[in-house]
Amino acid sequence: MECDLLVDGNDYKVIFNNEVLIRPDLVIPRIGSSATAYGTTVLRHFQEMGVPVLNNVNSILNSRDKFRCLQLLAAADIPIPVTYFSNDLHHAEKLVERKLGYPFIIKLLEGTQGEGVHLIKNELEAHEIFNRYGSSKKKILLQKFIAEFSGRDVRAFVVGDKVVAAMMRIAAQGDFRSNIHRGGRGEKIVLSEEEREMAIRAVKTLGLKMAGVDILRSKSGAMIIEVNSSPGLEGIETTTKIKIAEEIIHFIEENFR
Ligand SMILES: Nc1ncnc2c1ncn2[C@@H]1O[C@H](COP(=O)(O)OP(=O)(O)OP(=O)(O)O)[C@@H](O)[C@H]1O
Ligand SMILES: [Mg+2]
C-alpha cells in the first residue's frame, strides 16, 4: 500500500520509502479485497518489469469477481450452484419471484470473510436487502442455497497442481457462514478424489498457482462456490498442522528458477 509507481517509456520503477526498490526475485501477491484495484496495479508494474509473480494480475481478477469466477468454472464443466447475476435490483427481485424462490443466498460480487453474504428467507427480508444494496449501488449475485450443507464448507488449499491441505469449516452456532473470521472452526478432513481433482482443475482454469478453493457438498455432488487468490494461512495451518508457507516456498524454488 506504500509503493509509488513510475512509467517512463520502457522504464518501470517502484518507489518505496523515497527510494527506487531493488528488483525482487519474485513477488507473492497478498491482496485484500478492499485493495484489489491498487494491489493489481502494483502487481502489473512488477509484471511489466519482468519480475516473476506467483499469481498474476489476470488470474487474481478472474477469481476476485465471484461471478466471473463462476462463469469460468462453468465453462470448464466444474459444478457450481445455480447463480444469477443482474445489474438491476428490480430485475433481481423478479428473478427471485419467478425463478429462484426462498430461501436463497445473496452475495456482494466482491465480498470477503463472509461479509456481504446473506441468507434470505422471505419476501420481507428480500425487500429489505434489495433496498439496502440498491442505494449503495453494489453489484450482487443471487444463488441457490445449499441447505443440506448449511453452516459448513470445505476449504482445499492448492499449490501448483497439488492440494497441500484441506479442512472442513464449521460455522459458529446460528450462522450459515463457516468463515473462520466469523467464528467458524476448522476440522481436518480427507477430500474425495472428485473434490481433489475439481479443486486442482478450478485453480488451473482461473490461471492461478496458489489458491483456497471453497467447496460445498450438495446432495447432487460437490460444487465450488469460490476460489480465493489470497487465502489465509493461519486457520488451515493450525487445523491441519501442515506448514503451508513452506509448501509455497518449495513450489516457488522448484518452478521459478
Ligand atoms: N450457496 C450457498 N449455500 C449454502 N451456504 C453458502 C452458499 N454460499 C456461501 N455459503 C456459506 O457462506 C460462506 C461465505 O460465502 P463465500 O465463500 O461465497 O464468500 P466469502 O467467504 O465472503 O468470500 P471470501 O472467501 O473471499 O472471504 C461459505 O463459506 C459457506 O459457509
Ligand atoms: Mg469464502
* Alpha-helical regions (H) of 163-243: 193-206, 234-240
Q: What's the whole-model pTM score?
A: 0.95
| pLDDT greater than 70 at residue 111 | no
Return the CATH fold of 148-255.
D-amino Acid Aminotransferase; Chain A, domain 1 (3.30.470)
Ligand 2 centroid from CA 153, angstroms: 8
For the chain, give the mean pLDDT. Answer: 94
Cell of 257: 528458477
Ligand 2 centroid from CA 221, angstroms: 19
Q: Strand runs (DSSP E) across the chain, as ranges? A: 4-8, 11-16, 19-20, 83-86, 104-108, 117-120, 140-144, 152-159, 162-170, 185-188, 210-218, 221-228
Single out the residue of 149, 169, 170, 143 nearest to residue 157, CA to CA: 169
* SS3 call for 78: coil
CB 225 near ligand 1, within 6 Å: yes
Domain 83-145: give its CATH superfamily: ATP-grasp fold, A domain (3.30.1490.20)
More confidently predicted of 93 and 185: 185
Ligand 2 centroid from CA 145, angstroms: 14
CB 215 within 8 A of CB 156: yes
Ligand having the closest approach to the CA of 111? 1
Domain 83-145 shares a fold with domain 148-255:
no
**pLDDT tens column, 45-81:** 999 999 999 999 999 999 999 999 999 999 999 999 9
Q: For position 50, what pLDDT does the model report?
A: 95
- The domain segmentation of the chain, as residue ranges, is 4-53, 83-145, 148-255
CB 228 near ligand 1, within 6 Å: yes
The residue type at 149:
F
The Cα–Cα gap between 61 and 229 comes to 9
CB 167 within 8 A of CB 189: yes
Give the ligand 1 atom nearest the CA of 225.
Answer: 18
Among 3-7, 86-90, 224-228, where is mean pLDDT lowest? 86-90
**pLDDT tens column, 230-250:** 999 999 999 999 999 999 999
> Half-sphere exposure (CA, 13 Å, Cβ side) for 122?
1
Pocket test for ligand 1, best of 179, 206, 224, 228 (most atoms within 8 A of CB): 179
The residue type at 3:
C
**pLDDT tens column, 145-171:** 999 999 999 999 999 999 999 999 999
Confidence of residue 134 (pLDDT cuts 50, 70, 90): confident
The Cα–Cα gap between 40 and 62 comes to 12
